[in-house]
DNA sequence: ATGAGACATCGAAGTCTGTCAATATTGATG
DNA sequence: CATCAATATTGACAGACTTCGATGTCTCAT
């Protein structure tokens, strides 16, 4: 999941203002990273993610997450789904309860990627 | 700009599944970071940012950026404005031309922040 | 001054997103 | 089996987003 974010796709060098210091992102790379950032780019989802990350065993039950927000249960369920489908949260159903866990690899991948652009 | 992303706002400890390892984000923190991520969460803006970052002197003229996309000039102008208002790009008008420059501090701030959540 | 070029702003069209109430699904329990 | 509790899915709606063509603004050169 989340692959390396750095490999793949030949970079089509684009005309720019001056000699390039580092290669710009390819179109494919941008279209691969943007959905991950879009999944993160919501205050509720950021808090959900950080709540899960803040739990001692790195996992949180949906029922506890629901209680932390003034939002309906379907809305929280929707946001969790978005984070899950983006690969940022792993799902684990145990009995009636569902536990979500942060995918640290994916999160660190994004972090490293952004750090690389800024460098 | 972009402040520290780490300071401010007392963290309201939220009921969670188990003892907290680290404090979760505050509501205010989430609402401060989300707009930055939203500004980044678009393939065109990601490429714009990386194109500017890839230039030797870290700055790019709008006219060159326009040529790198199959999009209208107003559309590119709009995306540059979004990145500028989010504090990710600095603007510098010289004569008829406008140059944009990456705000590395803001970018690294986000990167460090995400790395912190994942840790 | 007048014209041309670089960039921004405006207004509109179409699409996507966040949220909810209602309902379905799944698992435990009596 | 019937029921209850925990999550997910559906359908609807309001607001936000991306994109464009048309137009405005500013600056330089003629």
Give me the pLDDT at residue A119, please. 72
Which residue is nearest to the C1' sugar atom of C27, using CA? A96
User: Is B103:B87 a contact under the CB 8 Å cutoff?
Assistant: yes
Q: Kind and range of the H or E element at A59?
A: strand A59-61
- Residue B9: pLDDT band by 50, 70, 90 thresholds? very low
Give me the pLDDT at residue A15, please. 39
List the nucleotides on chain C closer than 7 A to a protein CB. 5-11, 17-22, 26-28
Nearest CA to B74 out of B82, B64, B66 is that of B66
How much is the average pLDDT of B21-41?
93
- Nearest nucleotide to A98 (CA to C1') is D7
- Residue A7: pLDDT band by 50, 70, 90 thresholds? very low
A1-20 as b/e, with b when 16 or more CB fall inside 10 Å?
A: ebeebeeeeebeebebbeeb
List the nucleotides on chain D closer than 7 A to a protein CB. 5-11, 17-22, 26-28
Helix locations, chain B, DSSP H: 27-40, 43-54, 62-67, 73-85, 104-118
How much is the average pLDDT of A85-114?
96
């Amino acid at each position: 999941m989340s692959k390396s974010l750095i490999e793949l796709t030949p970079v089509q060098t684009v005309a720019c203002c001056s000699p390039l210091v580092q290669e710009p992102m390819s179109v494919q790379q941008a279209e691969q990273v943007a959905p991950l950032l879009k999944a993160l780019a919501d205050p509720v989802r950021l808090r959900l993610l950080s709540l899960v990350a803040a739990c001692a065993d790195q996992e949180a039950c949906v029922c506890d997450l629901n209680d932390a927000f003034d939002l309906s249960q379907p809305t929280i369920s929707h946001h969790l789904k978005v984070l899950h489908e983006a690969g940022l949260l792993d799902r684990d159903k145990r009995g009636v309860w569902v536990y979500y866990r942060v995918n640290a690899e994916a999160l660190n991948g994004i972090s490293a990627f952004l750090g690389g652009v800024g460098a």
